[in-house]
Structure formats: C-alpha cells, structure tokens
Structure 1
Amino acid sequence: MTQPAMTPFSMSGSRGGRRVRRPPRPPSRRRHWAWVGITTVFLVIVGGGTLLALGYTLRPVHLVLLSACGAVALAVLLVSLGPAQLAVTSGAREDPWHVRHAVPYSVPGRDLRVVRDAQAISEELSGRRPSPDLHDRLRSLAEDRVRRAYPIGLADPGARELLGDRAHRLLTGPPRRLSPADLTHVIDRIEDL
C-alpha cells in the first residue's frame, strides 16, 4: 500500500517530527444555520417559559415562528456587523478596532514638504525652545521666492525692501522662537512676493 501524499496543511502524520497546522476554516453556511437553529430552540424554551409564567396561553406554532423570526433577525444583525461579529471558533482573533497606521500618512500626489512644514510649525508654537528646522525652511522658502521674482538673494539690500525690515531681520538673524504674530507676518510677506 502506498501512503497518501502529504499536503502542507494535513494534520495526520508528521514532517520532521513537527505537526503542520491547518489554516483556519471560514465559517460555513451549515454552521451559521446551526447557530440559528440553536438560538431558535433557546428562544422557544426561554420565551415559552416566560410567557407561561406570566399567565399567557400559548400556541406552539406561533411561539416557534416568533422565536425563529427573532433568531433570524439576530443572525442577520451579527452577519452585518462584519469583523466585529462574535467569534464562533476558538483561537486568536484580530481586534477590528485596532489602528493599523500609526505613522502619519499622506495621500498619493501630496507633497510631503507640506507635512514636514506643518510639523515644524506645530513644534515651534508648542515648544519651549526655537526650532531651527522651521527657521531654515522659512529662510530657504523666502530665498527661493526672492530669487524667482528678482535675481537677488536674501543678503542683498533689495531683499530687505521686498520683505520688509521685520521679516528680513527674523529670516536672516539667528533662529529664535517665533510668536504666532511673527510667524504670520513672515509667511504673509513670503506669500506677497
């Protein structure tokens, strides 16, 4: 007699002394309807007992139909909940509410410099010490805008006239903590170029 071929997911036999685990089976329709039937029987027993205890006269056909409707409604509700449904099988379950993206994410085509600039601005406004990243980014942005509009750099006296004395002093001086008013003024002056 020949041995049946071993598949990677077979439970019988061993490979190198180790048992190979089967992948989990998806819930079948038979199992689903079995749970509906069990729930119907449970509702008939509990509902019938409750109604008898309250003094109602029962017709078994009506009680079974009412319980079956309740069980089917419960099954439809559980199926419609998707990944948050109650697990019928044992084993490790994945939390359906787990956040899978802990890293800030940007949509395709979005400039990541905008995200970095926003982070630098928020660090500047919430931090206790100045952020050299924001100062360097504002300085390079202003220099780029000045060079595009006029062929001069920030060190040129013409740049002081274009940006204004206050914005030029903030951009060319050493990095310091910018107040929201200073930050708004510098950004407005750069946008006006």
Structure 2
Amino acid sequence: MTEAQELAQRIHDGVLQSLAVARIRLDRALATGGPLAHDVGEDLRALLDREIAALRDLVRGAGPARAGVGATLTETAHRLESLTGISVSVDERATADPTTGRVLHEALHNAIRHSGATHVRVIVAGVGKHLVGQVRDNGRGFDPGAARRGLGITAMYARTKAAGGELEIDSTGAGTVVTVTLPRSAGR
C-alpha cells in the first residue's frame, strides 16, 4: 500500500466513520420535528472535538493510540450503540488479529450507516485452523453484486486477500452477514 493509500485508509477508518455517525445522530434528532435536544448537541460537539484532535494528530504524523483489537471492537460497539440507539453486541470467543479487527470495524460501521438495523452482532471465533469474524445485522439487506464498491468494501476484500483469507457478504431482505475467514498463524 502506498503512503497516500495508507493515509486515505486511516482517514476513512477513523474520522470519516465518526462523522458518519454524527450525521446519523443529527438526522435522527432533526427528524423529531422539535428543537435539537441539548444532550444530542453536547454529544455531537464531543464527537467532533475528538475527531478534530484525531485529524490534527494524523496530520502531525502521530496517529491514534492503538488499543488491543478486542478492546477496540468493544469500545466501538459501545460508542456506536450510545450514539445511534442501535443495539450492538460483541461476542469475542477468540482473540481477533488486526486484519480481522479492521474488516469487522468496517463491516460494523457499514451496518450502522446503511442497513437500517435495530441490532448488530459482532462475533470472533476460532474454527479449527481458522479465525472467523462476523458482523450480522437485522437490517434491510442489499444486493452485494449490484452494490457500488466504495473504499471500505474494497479495502475489506484487499486486506482479507493479502492475509490469505476469504471475505463473504451474504445479504437478504432480512439482514446482512459479513464473514471474514483467515488462517491462524503463530501470531493469531
């Protein structure tokens, strides 16, 4: 991956995801027809302040501090749940590696942004010689073959392929399941 591609991916995985969540939260507040609730405004201000600081760090080359993959998935799930009201659960039966974590992070954000789901479940499990991660939602689904592949889905496929794994997106009118399967290695 070139330096420009890496920067684009870091911006996509960080600030753009958070700004999309802020937009969802704002849209929901505005849809109520009344004045924007003070607590929603405060939540959005705090979210934007965090992302402005993250962008400044990125521009300076610092980048965000990295927690463990499992902790990051759980933290992201809790944050998205509190910001959007969509129920999000994480069931980590095996330790996710960075590739699995990034793919699941993207799939989780896609479910929150696009599916109209009321519940999203993230699962990480060891299955034989493989590490399997899934994001399942109960949203409206989509046709993966007909959908335009944006940077996020393209990066999910590229990361999975580069790690010697497979990515499957199964979607019906009753939701979407994104499954990433990677071979376990000594580091996973």
Task: Give TM class, smaller chain.
Answer: under 0.3
TM-score, with structure 2 as normaliser: 0.27
TM-score, with structure 1 as normaliser: 0.26
Q: Highest CA radius of gyration, 1 or 2? A: 1
Higher helix share: 1
Higher strand share: 2
